[in-house]
Structures are given as C-alpha cells and as structure tokens.
Amino acid sequence: MEQLFDEVKHQSRSRQIVDKFRAALEEGSLRVGDKLPPERELCVQLGVSRTSLREAVRILDAYGVVEATQGGGTFITDRFTENIFEFLGFDDLLSRDNLRHLLQARSAMETGAVEQALETADDGALRKLELLVRRLETEEDPALLGGLDAEFHETLVLLSGNPILMAVYRMIHKIVLQGTSRVIAYPGARETAVRDHRRILEALKRKDRRECSAAVRRHLKHTEKLIEKYFEKEG
C-alpha cells in the first residue's frame, strides 16, 4: 500500500514558541496591547534562532494574536474580537438586542463552566475569589467595580480548564462590560452585584451544583434587567 503520511516528528521549535505564547496569554502574563521585547532579546529568552522566532510570529500573526507595526514593534492584539465587532455592527455594537444576546451566551457558558469549577476549585482559587468579593464589597469607583466583576467571572471560567471556552468568553465579556459599566452606578446596582457574587462564591464553597448554577443565572438576569432600565431611560 502506498504510504499516505510521513512519520510523526517532534514539535518544531516554532510550534513550541507558539505554545509558550498561548500559555502566557492564558496565565495573563501577556495581555492585549502589550509590546513584545525586541527580536534579539526574545531569541535569548526563548533560546531559539531568529528563523524559528520569525516563523512563530508569522503563525501568531495568522491567528490574529500579534501585529507588527512599521518601526513601532510587535504588539499582542485581538483581531478575532475585532472581526466579531464588525459582524455585530460596530456602530450598533451596544444595542439592546446585541447585549441581550451576548448576556444569554454568557449565561450558557458560565453555568457550564461553574459546574467544572466545582470540581477544580482548590483552596487557592477560593481564596482568590474571596478576595475579589471582599474588594467588590468595599470598592466605590464604578470603573474599578467593572474590572473586579470581570476578574471574578474570568476566574470562574478559567477553572473550567477549557482554553477555547475561556478565549470565547473573554471576547464576549469584553463587549458586555462596555454596557454593564454604564449601569453599575445605578441606585442599588452595586449592592445587587455584591450580593450576587457573594452567593455564587458561597455556593461554590459548599460545592452545591444546583445553587451555584442558579446563582450565576440570577446574577446575569439582574444584569439584563439593569441594562433594560438603562435603555428605557435613554429612550
């Protein structure tokens, strides 16, 4: 029989570099907007040749993870999200319908992720979530509240251990956050958010699967109602 495939070889150096970038993005040591070190420095850090590094950068560029600017260096980017913005209609991105649909997508992803988190949330993860809830309970700045809320939910989804789910979730939450940041200062909104996050955490500590999923859904329903009030007020 004619041979269809070549023998499987070890991963190429460029593929290993791509995997290191993926891990750094998942861990948060690299974020969108970060500028990469010069090529020579990266080669030293990674212990690779310029040829391998350049091939890896080409792969990352094809995925929309990095973007080189003329004379300005190479930056971590997120063109996948930009394409979604275009698909939804950039001028109408924060429309009532778009936000409602995005919140529904968040609800589906988070309720699934939190079930996995019940199995993987160790003492360290619970301590981190507890710290975030305590900061939510004392923070008054609406801009900082939005960031704390995002970090709490991203931590929950990260505990699912699913990198694809995490990537899609971050994209969706990035858009929704633009809407929720407008309503967090509404009377009672902050108190509701704090109470909801505390309930999610306490259910997670008890490993109460049903209550954990219900608490996530209630929180997102409260968020949806606040956004509806915002659109009614704005007319």
Q: Which of 36-40, 91-95, 100-104, 168-172 has the lowest mean pLDDT?
A: 91-95
pLDDT value at position 86?
A: 60
pLDDT value at position 5?
A: 40
pLDDT value at position 132?
A: 93
pLDDT grade for 1, boundaries at 50, 70 and 90: very low
pLDDT value at position 159?
A: 87
Give per-residue pLDDT as tens, 121-136: 889 999 999 999 999 8
User: Is the pLDDT at 6 greater than 90, yes or no?
Assistant: no
Distance separating alpha carbons of residues 140 and 119, to the nearest angstrom? 33
Q: Rank 20-34, 103-117, 136-150 by mean pLDDT and report only the highest.
A: 103-117
Sign of the Cα pseudo-torsion (68, 154, 185, 214, in order): positive
Q: Which of 52-61, 93-102, 191-200 has the lowest mean pLDDT?
A: 93-102
For each of the domains in the chain, give its residue range(s) and CATH number, in order of start: 13-77 (1.10.10.10), 82-234 (1.20.120.530)
The 3-state secondary structure of the chain reads CCCCCCCCCCCCHHHHHHHHHHHHHHHCCCCCCCECCCHHHHHHHHCCCHHHHHHHHHHHHHCCCEEEECCCEEEECCHHHHHHHHHHCHHHCCCHHHHHHHHHHHHHHHHHHHHHHHHHCCHHHHHHHHHHHHHHHHCCCHHHHHHHHHHHHHHHHHCCCCHHHHHHHHHHHHHHHHHHHHHCCCCCHHHHHHHHHHHHHHHHHHCCHHHHHHHHHHHHHHHHHHHHHHHHHHC
Q: Which residue has the higher pLDDT, 82 or 2?
A: 82
Q: Which residue has the higher pLDDT, 113 or 70?
A: 113
User: Is the pLDDT at 75 greater than 70, yes or no?
Assistant: yes
pTM of the predicted model, to two decimals? 0.64
pLDDT value at position 14?
A: 85
Give per-residue pLDDT as tens, 148-198: 888 898 888 888 888 778 777 877 776 777 667 667 767 778 888 889 999
Name the percent of the chain lying above pLDDT 70: 83
Q: Which residue has the higher pLDDT, 167 or 104?
A: 104
pLDDT value at position 11?
A: 61
pLDDT value at position 8?
A: 39
Average pLDDT of the residues in 96-105: 81
Cβ neighbours around 97 below 10 Å, total: 9
